[in-house]
Structure 1
Amino acid sequence: QEISIRAALGAGRARIARELLLESVVLGLIGGVLGVGVAAAALRLLVSIGPASLPRLSEISLDTRSVAFTFAISLFSGLLFGSLPTWKYVFRQRSTLLDGSVRTTSISRERHRARNVLVVTQVAMALVLLVCALLMVRTFAALHNVDPGFSDASHIQTVSTWIPDQLISNSEMVTRTENDITDKLAGIPGVTSVGFARAVPMDGNQPNWDSLYLKGKDYGATEPPIRFFNYISPGFFHAMGTRLVAGRDFTWSDIYSLRPSVIVSENLARESWGSAQAAIGKQVREFSSMPWQEVIGVAEDVHTLGLDEKVPATVYWPAMVRNPYDPQPAIMASRFVTFAIHTNRAGTASLQSEMQQAVSSVNASLPLASVQTMQEIYGKSLARTSFTLVMLGIAAAMALALGIIGIYGVISYAVSQRTREIGIRLALGARKNELRWMFVRPALLLTGIGVVIGLGAAAAVARLMRTLLFGISPIDPLSFVAVPLILVLAAALASFLPASRVATVNPVDALRVE
């Protein structure tokens, strides 16, 4: 109608088209400016919580190209969505000025269908992202319920050191030096237990894998399965809070006498001999040229590679062993080790200073590295999952907001366009609750269609996310029931608010519209 009036007053098609395009472009650019502002704030948050393993994390920023791209997209969106009505109503149709059609006809089927398609699409997209976000939330919760194989992580301080060949060439002296450092660290006030290992759980160091032969088992022409290897000192399990479910720990007498002994994980014991207790006294070795090693203990399973990874079957060798690779030298020791120190002072600067003094008192040339608590290591192991959760959560919240805005906008516009019809219905005795339901019902119908479409898409996307999930199925019943209910409730609220305006319509005033 506005276009008809302008045309009747002498405005040309080009002028009307410019006005419509200008309005659309201005709206698009305003949206782009607001989007850049929100993105700049969100980006700082995401970078601050992003996992350290994410490549070039510190270089992520909102640069000139990003802003230029946003400006171009905003401009393109304004031109695209402004050109559609411009082409339809300015260049393809000649509106009849005040022909009464506005009062008597409903919204054209084409316009009605276009808006409905947009609403259905928004609801479907929101459902997909909300389902993915809820799956990640449930994964995060499942990970937190997993026993990592160590306890009291906030009170376990870890610190690494390296003894190069140039400093100490004799392998036995390397182990004795590490033993002396252990004793010095144990003497620090507040320290209850100390041990060391080649690697502590979840520290990101590359694991050692190799085959393990079981005495009495015939492998034929095949190789035995590979196992995770670690080299530990006496007291390491105690410091880490890792339980021995059978047998005993190493002693320093075992270490220095090179007693052929070994400790295995509980899952390896069950797999190989049926139970943890049955493993005690059994014999294993890494190579056929290596003497058989007696299993003296079985430790509880440890999530060495991360909470979301399968627990590896693990063999714990003594910190010093006979060299299985080369008889020269005859003894092999771990030159890079990480000490685990159980203390209520973990993470404090004073403890770090005293640890440096303790190490320096044994050998002043040994530096400390990777000073961190097990709680920090534990948190880093969850970094990928938590970061993915945040990203999906932000996307899901935006999609839900767009879906609600879309439904609210459609119903609100429908109410404003049908004010005269509402007045007539009220004048003929229609109840206001019936009129509200007349607008809420199509909104719920559109939401239902979007939910059905979205559930199919969400099921497909969830299967692609299988590697990110832990402890739940990609087709998680709770997620696929809760999210549709949330969307339906949000849609009901978004449609009820504008539909409630029918209660304020005065039939007399409505009949005088236009």
Structure 2
Amino acid sequence: MAHLATDLRYALRRLRRARTVSAVAILTLALGIGANTALFSLVRTVLLRPLPYGAPERLTVLWNATEKGETTWLSLRELAAIGADARAFTHVAGFTSGSANLTGDVEPERVAIGSVTANAFATLAAAPLLGRTFRPDEGAPGAGDVAVIGHALWQRRYGGAPDVVGRTLRVNGRARTIVGVMPAAFRFPLDFREGRPTELWIPQVVDTANLGGWGSRNFIGFARLRPGVAPEQGTRELRRVAQGWVREGFVIDDGSGRLYRAAVPVHDLVLGDMRRPLWILFGAVALLLLIACANAANLLLARADERRREIAVRKALGAARARVMRQLLAESVLLAAAGGACGVALAWAGTRLLASLAPASLPRVADVRVDLGVLAFTTLLAVATGFVFGLAPALQLSRPDVAGALHESGGRSGTTGRARQRFRRGLAVVQVAMSVVLVVGAALLLRSLVELRRVDLGFDPRGALTARLALPAAEYPEPAQVVAFHERLQQRVAQIPGVRAAAGTRLLPLTGTIGDWSITIEGRARDGRDNPNGDWQVVMPGYFEAMRIPLRQGRTLARTDDARGVPVVVINQTMADRYWPDGDALGKRFKWGTADQPWMTIVGIVGVVRHNAIVEEPRAEMYVTPAHYALETGNAPRAMTLVLRTAGDPLALAAPLRAVVRELDPNVPLADVQTLERVTDDALAEPRFTTVLLALFAGLALALAAVGIYGLVSLLVTQRTHEVGIRMALGARRAAIGRMMLGQGMAVAGAGVAVGLLAAGLLSRLLTTLVYGVGTLDPLTFVAVPAVLGAVTLVATLIPARRAARVDPAIALRSE
């Protein structure tokens, strides 16, 4: 034990003397351990941890069979028919989300709520933390008003009071009794993809004698498979049931495939499009760990080579082989242990960084913690690297060939020395090649992100403030009351100093998927396969001016377009081109659906807005005022998002806006007060997250590769000092010596770049679904990356090359 303590103290003194090399080795290992632990902790939490349901592998969402990325709405009648006829499922339930005002006991606030069929929690096999969930009879007409609340709402509004079950709260002015509290980890399936998950659930009233029309689709369906039944079998059952509806004449199959549903595993739905980016990032950080280990190995081997004579002298003076090996291993393991300790700190900071960078749509990111199993594995790998690459030179240096070591020169290193050099050069080539792969991937995603930012959204996000509000049905039961409140609010908001334009919309672009509505065009007959439609928007007059959506033809909506006037509509250019390709859309009429609804006259054509997503194909869209929407449907949109076009800082208007709303109705809370620029930035959160992380890993890999080449060339300079002295004594010019050393470093880098470009070309196809506006074999990227690598390598090799060129021949010759 005393010998071990002595060896460790000596190793510590040696590491202190070589501060630069030691610091680089420790930092290299720390980066590899910290980055891998942080990212794999994220991957394990998001991808591999089971969802908070009983037997989650049997839980599926009833999704559109042709467009699984879009929300698929079902009617209560369809859900009931699937539950009765599809034998693959034990439970079929429905869920629809919205927002509600909570009032009564404390300050009013607006929260996301879910209206669910009474069997929803049983379908999810989710148990409450307190109380109970809904009983089957609580979905029947006339049942008691009850609610289940989420853990966050329980903590925030009730301070985690254990007696919350049985209390009453008012939801949109309606009193409801709290019967249960869900655990902190619980989410409904679609909530994992939302920035604001639902925090309160109420039972959907289902009248089995009157389920409504087949086309009244406003529920997300999810179902539990029977034991042993695969999702594919559930999909076949859903198709069989839908074909029965067609045969019975309940619905029409228009040939588009949109009628048919697929049983999509909930795990696939929750992850959405983030599965591939996360695995790619995991592969990138694994490469970074390999680069770090290779760099550490090169440093340890280089240090061992530099100490060959020292060890030979100690052996000549009688040092035992075991003692020499122990001291050399102590240094290596001490380096690895220090790197591991620093890696733990970096892993903790890395998880916090990932949580701050991650998009809201990344599920369970708030639950990410340093995974001890991952930390143990990566630390063990780093320590093993230090041990293995410390053991090999220790065994070699401790052998009894003292005379050979004392006479060995850098310029005459022999076969063994040349083999060591080739091995270290091979490690450097591998480092550079892996760095090239990461840099190419990061460059492709960066170029894609730039192209995404260049996409014309159809509106101007600069200088605008947005905020959401909704009117409770209990206080505003009539559509006319809702419309009147919104008109008063718009007039008052427009009078706030600094407001240039103010309006509202049912759903702000890039904040949710907008639904479509079938239309009947005047003078055109319809057949079973003809289904003209357009996405529908309800907007206040002045909306196009507030959003700066360009007017192409005609006029926009005006204040005179109220309930007393002729129903009018504004359509976008895509809808005009699709249904009136001759350019004569102005003045034409259509109505929503096929029933006896009022005809709407087209008075204007506006530019195309990217509403559902930045990269979506242009969609047909139509805009009506709240008053005319009420004429068409008999309802008025209670939830609206305000848009204020400002002359200065948009956020400066947040307080005056709250004051106006409070004056009109103190029980109506404002939510999501933010700039329109923030809304558009959030829409780019997923590609930005992937790009930033991959760019960070690529930058670290590039730095490690540069350090590796620098260390390799520096060692070559040290080993060939005697040779350089002879060359210069025989008349070699300093510039020639510098070019010789520079050439060796550039040769290593060139080989690494060539191998890396080939590997990057093969692996870049993995990024196909992640890039936009740029090919995975983008010529600019594949030319720019070698140029950057060449510049970095040049800088890394130039310093030791210049040092070699300044060697004094007399000193170099005396070094023997």
Quick check: 1:504 aligned with 2:806? yes
Provide the residue aligned with 1:261 in structure 2: 568
The verdict on how the C-alpha distance between 1:5 and 1:345 changes in structure 2, with shifts beyond 3 A counting, is closer
What CA distance in whole angstroms lies between the structure 1 residues aligned with 2:752 and 2:608?
46
Query: How far 1:431 moved relative to its partner?
Result: 2.6
Which runs of 5 or more structure 1 residues have no equivalent in the other structure? none
Shift of 1:398: 0.8
Q: How does 1:104-503 map to 2 (within 5 A)?
A: 104-106=412-414, 108-151=417-460, 153-202=461-510, 204-212=511-519, 214=521, 220-222=527-529, 224=531, 227-257=534-564, 259-274=566-581, 277-289=583-595, 291=597, 292-321=599-628, 331-344=634-647, 347-348=650-651, 351-503=653-805
Residue 774 of structure 2 aligns to a residue in which SS? coil
Query: Structure 1 494/352 Cα, relative in aligned 2: closer, same or farther at 3 Å?
Result: closer
- Could you list the per-position Cα deviations for residues 211-270 of structure 1 after superposition, in whole angstroms to 9, with x for gaps in the alignment? 455556677543537643221122111111112111222234433147343222222322
Residues 279 and 295 in structure 1, CA contact (< 8 A), matched pair in contact too = yes
Q: Retained in 2: the 8 A contact 1:197–1:319?
A: no
| Matched AA of 2:595 | S
- State the shift of 1:493 in Å: 2.2
The letter of the residue matching 2:695 is G
Q: Which SS does the other structure have where 1:21 is aligned?
A: helix
Match of 2:403 in 1: 97
The whole-number CA distance in structure 2 between the counterparts of 1:403 and 1:190 is 54
Moved more, 29-38 or 212-221: 212-221
Displacement of 1:334: 0.9
Cα distance change of structure 1 residues 417 and 236 upon mapping to structure 2, 3 Å threshold: same
Deviates more, 1:191-200 or 1:451-460: 451-460
Q: Write the distance in 2 (CA, Å) between the matches of 1:448 and 1:53.
A: 41
Instruction: Report which stretch shifted further, 502-511 or 389-398.
Output: 502-511
Report deviation, 1:500.
1.9
After superposition, what is the alpha-carbon deviation per residue over 1:100-147, rounded to whole angstroms, capped at 9, x for unaligned?
Answer: 661333463432222122111221222222223333333333333333
TM-score (norm 2): 0.56
Q: What one-letter code is carried by the residue in structure 2 that aligns with 1:180? A: R
Kindly provide the amino acid, as one letter, of the partner of residue 51 in structure 1. P
The CA deviation string for residues 391-436 of structure 1, in whole angstroms up to 9 with x for no partner, is: 2232122111111111111111111112222222223332332222
Structure 1: how far apart are the matches of 2:532 and 2:741? 66
| Cα distance change of structure 1 residues 214 and 487 upon mapping to structure 2, 3 Å threshold | farther
C-alpha displacement of 1:188 = 2.5
RMSD (CA atoms): 3.1
Letter in 2 for 1:209: D
Deviation at 1:358, TM superposition (A): 2.7
For residue 584 of structure 2, give the secondary structure of its aligned residue in structure 1.
Answer: helix
Separation in 2 of the partners of 1:22 and 1:223? 79
Task: Give me the whole-angstrom Cα distance separating, in 2, the residues matched to 1:86 and 1:100.
Answer: 17
Q: CA deviation at 1:388?
A: 2.9
The 2-side partners of 1:114 and 1:416 are apart by 17
CA contact (8 A) 1:150 1:302 kept: yes
Moved more, 483-492 or 306-315: 306-315
What residue in structure 1 maps to residue 28 of structure 2? none
Contact 1:195 1:234 in 2 (8 A): yes
Query: For 1:164 and 1:432, how far apart are their aligned partners in 2?
Result: 85
**Cα distance, 1:4 vs structure 2:** 4.5
Question: Counterparts of 1:184 and 1:469 in 2: how far apart (Å)?
Answer: 45
The letter of the residue matching 1:231 is V
Instruction: Report the residue type matching 1:269 in the other structure.
Output: A
- Residues 172 and 439 of structure 1: is their aligned pair in 2 closer, same or farther, counting only changes over 3 Å? same
Q: 1:498 to 1:354 in 2, by over 3 A?
A: closer
Read off the aligned partner of 2:504 and give its amino acid letter: F
Q: Which amino acid aligns with 2:713?
A: I
Secondary structure (helix, strand or coil) at the match of 1:259 reads: coil
Distance 1:432 1:74, change over 3 A: same
Q: In 2, Cα distance between the equivalents of 1:235 and 1:272?
A: 26
The answer to whether the Cα contact below 8 Å between 2:479 and 2:630 also exists between their aligned partners in 1 is no
Secondary structure at the residue paired with 1:165?
coil
1:39-58 correspondence to structure 2 within 5 Å: 47-58=355-366
Query: 1:184–1:359: 8 Å Cα contact kept in structure 2?
Result: no
Q: Is the 8 A contact 1:258 1:320 kept in 2?
A: no
| 2:315/2:400 contact within 8 Å kept | no
Quote the offset at 1:10 in angstroms. 4.2
CA distance in 1, matches of 2:396, 2:713: 23
Which residue does 2:27 correspond to in 1?
A: none
Contact 1:50 1:383 in 2 (8 A): yes
Which range moved further: 304-313 or 36-45? Answer: 36-45
Contact preservation (8 Å) 1:346, 1:373: no
Aligned partner of residue 136 in structure 1, secondary structure: helix
> Structure 2: how far apart are the matches of 1:312 and 1:293?
20
Alignment TM-score, normalising by the size of structure 1:
0.87
Give SS of 1:509's match: helix
What is the identity percentage for the equivalent residue pairs of Structure 1 and Structure 2? 34
Count of residue correspondences:
504
Once the 2 structures are TM-superposed, how far is the Cα of residue 455 of structure 1 from its aligned partner?
1.7
SS in 1 for 2:561: helix
Q: Is the 8 A contact 2:517 2:592 kept in 1?
A: yes
Q: In the aligned structure 1, how far is the partner of 2:456 from the partner of 2:756?
A: 35
Deviation for aligned residue 1:487 = 0.8
Rounded Cα–Cα distance in structure 1 between residues aligned with 2:426 and 2:387: 21
Q: 1:337 to 1:115 in 2, by over 3 A?
A: same
SS in 1 for 2:635: strand
- Displacement of 1:88 after TM fit? 5.0
Q: 1:461 to 1:313 in 2, by over 3 A?
A: farther
Tell me which of the two structures has the higher relative contact order, counting C-alpha pairs closer than 8 angstroms and 6 or more residues apart.
1
